[in-house]
A and B are shown apart, each in its own frame.
Chain A
Amino acid sequence: MTAAVDVQRETPIGARRGRAAVGRWISRIPYAVLAVYAVVGGVGPLIIDYNPVRVSLDDRLLSPGAHVVSGGIAWFGTDGLGRDVLAQVVYGARTSVIIGVSTVVVSCLIGVTVGIVAGYFRGWLDTVLARGIDILLAFPAILLTIVIAGAFERSVLVVVAALSATPWISFARVTRGVALSVRERPWIDAARVLGVRPTSILLRHILPLTVGPVVALATLEFALVVLAEAGLSFLGIGLPNSAVSWGQTIANGKQYLETAWWISALPGIALSLLIINIGILGDQLTARYGRGHLR
């Protein structure tokens, strides 16, 4: 009797296990792609020498794989000023990652602090912050970013500040939600009865529970920030011209779209791949650590 039951079960479990294994491998693709970007962005600039100011007019608009005057091969072609597109993609990866990480870190620090304080202490502070956030959310995010970026001279610092102007709100809202629900839990009451100081309660009892949702949100925001930075640079109000950015390269290729597609297309593909993979990773993390994962 028992044996019969076992035999009946065996096949579906095996099949399920096989499918699960395939699913596991597919779900690891974003990690692999992001690792490639990290390696390319981190090591690439050390290997490939590139100076955005040095132009070589003899090498203008070479197609991918063509030989340049100096003897090398331009695998991704060259742009309208004879600059190597592969080098621009590699240097652009580094720029995107640096800008993305610093913007996410800045907005995460601000947002988590504001959210946790507002959610835990409630009162007028929470009311003011919640209404303020509502007002800020009423503006289109990119508009606010453009206004800030356009008002100041182009520099990395201004770009990071402009890009941080709206993402911190998402962090504040998520953290506030966690703090609001956690503050009612008995372990917080127990800590208060014990006489634990409010800062310790925030840091030791509430902050650890925000980590999951915040990390999930950080990945999603990272993708948006990378895209927004490319957008700013495309519009010419992002990074200074001495920096290499995918947005600038794509903008440079705009006028050659029909004759030299590779100038805009290749950095565009690099950008899309990065954003899609971060998005998938973010969704995975949200499903695992997002809302409702408090216990």
Chain B
Amino acid sequence: MSLLEVNDLRVSFARRNAWFRSRSADFVAVDGVSLAVAPDEIVGLVGESGSGKTTVARAIVGLVRPGSGAVLLDGVPLGPVGRRTTAQQRAAQMVFQDPRSSLSPRMTVTAIINEAWRTHPESAPPGDRTAALHRLLDDVGLDASVARHRADELSGGQCQRVSIARALAVRPRLLVCDEAVSALDVSVQAQILRLLVDLRERHHLAMLFISHDLGVVHQIADRIAVMRRGVVVEEGRTTDVLGAPRHEYTRSLLDAALELSTTDAQDRSGN
């Protein structure tokens, strides 16, 4: 039984100012995507930019209304974000690409986490909130002193940890990470990836990990789905997909990634 199921999802966007245009002029971002994420599983969703990965993520958390198809949580269809039950709202949380702008610039870390708890009181820890906040920050590898800072006083890596803490505050079951490490530098990337793997074990989280970077997905995902132009072209266990890709597009993605890493290595040996 899978935790999250996406069935034949189609999403299209009306072009801007489409007052006089016919529906056929809509831009199709996702064209029939089916996915499943089991409890405790990390599924990687890869593909070049513009392939519709982010739209899939936004449809799962309810920020985008699908044209057709369904997003099911425990077999129950999910509506747009405002129409979900509180339990459904808590269950699926998202971590965004740009660490800085995913935190309100005028709010302190304490205020950000407290907002999550105030929105879902049933997920708030009993007893002392300050102690609980420090435990939560410690959980994502942040010092308690970060609590009184605002987002614009933190580094990118710290912001992303706060984002993860905010998502964890409501004790979700599924974490959708949309390019969550792409904006970070390589060493911080590795730390955040390790943190995510850690958290999965400690909190029994399932994850949908979206990235254009095969290397990153390779490190973290149990299964991989490869997307291109709004459809999934290949899906399977990480080792299978990356070890013996069946689809031509996956192969070309792999080749491109390999080429990049070998030139990287050459650069390094050259210096």
Residues of A within 8 A of B (CB): 185-187, 189-198, 200, 204-205, 208-209, 295
B152 close to A190 (CB less than 8 A): no
Whether the pair A189, B84 counts as a contact (CB closer than 8 A) is no
CA A205 – CA B106 in complex, angstroms?
8
- Structural contact, B63 and A193, CB atoms closer than 8 A: yes
- B97-133 interface mask toward A, CB cutoff 8 Å, 1 = contact, 0 = none? 1100111111100000001100110000000000000
Rounded to whole angstroms, the CA-CA distance of A77 and B81 in the bound complex is 70
Which residues of B38-72 have CB atoms within 8 Å of chain A's CB atoms? 58, 61-63
CB-contact partner of B93 in A193, A197, A198, under 8 A? A193
Contact of B119 among A196, A205, A209 (CB under 8 A): A196
Among A186, A191, A193, A196, the most chain B Cβ lie within 10 Å of the Cβ of A193
Instruction: Please give me the residue from chain B that is nearest to A189 by CB atom.
Output: B63
Q: Would A205 and B61 count as touching, CB distance under 8 A?
A: no
Among A194, A197, A200, the most chain B Cβ lie within 10 Å of the Cβ of A194
**A111: min CB distance to chain B, Å:** 21
Closest to B151 in A: A187
The answer to whether B101 touches A187 (Cβ under 8 A) is yes
Chain A: which residue is nearest B106 at the CB level?
A208
Minimal Cβ-Cβ distance residue in B for A190: B102
Chain A min CB distance to B186 (Å): 22
Bound CA–CA A25/B1 (angstroms): 72
A sample of 17 inter-chain contacts (CB < 8 A) reads: A186-B102, A187-B103, A189-B63, A189-B94, A190-B94, A190-B166, A192-B81, A192-B82, A193-B63, A193-B81, A193-B94, A194-B89, A194-B166, A195-B90, A197-B119, A200-B115, A200-B119
**Pairs of residues from A and B, 5 with the lowest C-beta to C-beta distance, nearest first:** A195-B89, A186-B102, A186-B96, A208-B106, A187-B104
Interface contacts beyond A189-B58, A191-B115, A194-B120: sample of 20 additional A-B pairs, CB < 8 Å, sorted by A:
A185-B101, A189-B63, A189-B94, A189-B102, A190-B96, A193-B89, A193-B92, A193-B93, A194-B93, A194-B116, A195-B81, A195-B86, A195-B90, A195-B119, A200-B115, A204-B104, A205-B104, A205-B107, A209-B105, A295-B105
Closest residue of chain B to A184, judged by CB? B101
| Contact partner, B63, options A185, A192, A208, A295, Cβ 8 Å | A192
Q: Which of B184-237 contact A (CB under 8 A)?
A: none
With A186-B98, A189-B96 known as contacts, the answer to whether A209 contacts B106 (CB < 8 A) is: yes
Which residues of chain A have C-beta atoms less than 8 A from B158's C-beta? none
Residue of A nearest to B90 (CB): A195
Q: How distant is B87 from chain A, measured CB to nearest CB, in Å?
A: 10
Partner of A204 from the list B61, B84, B107 (CB cut-off 8 Å) is: B107
Which A residue's beta carbon lies closest to that of B120?
A195
Residues of B within 8 A of A194 (CB): 89, 93, 115-116, 119-120, 166, 170
B250 within 8 Å of A by Cβ? no
Cβ of B163 < 8 Å from any Cβ of A? yes
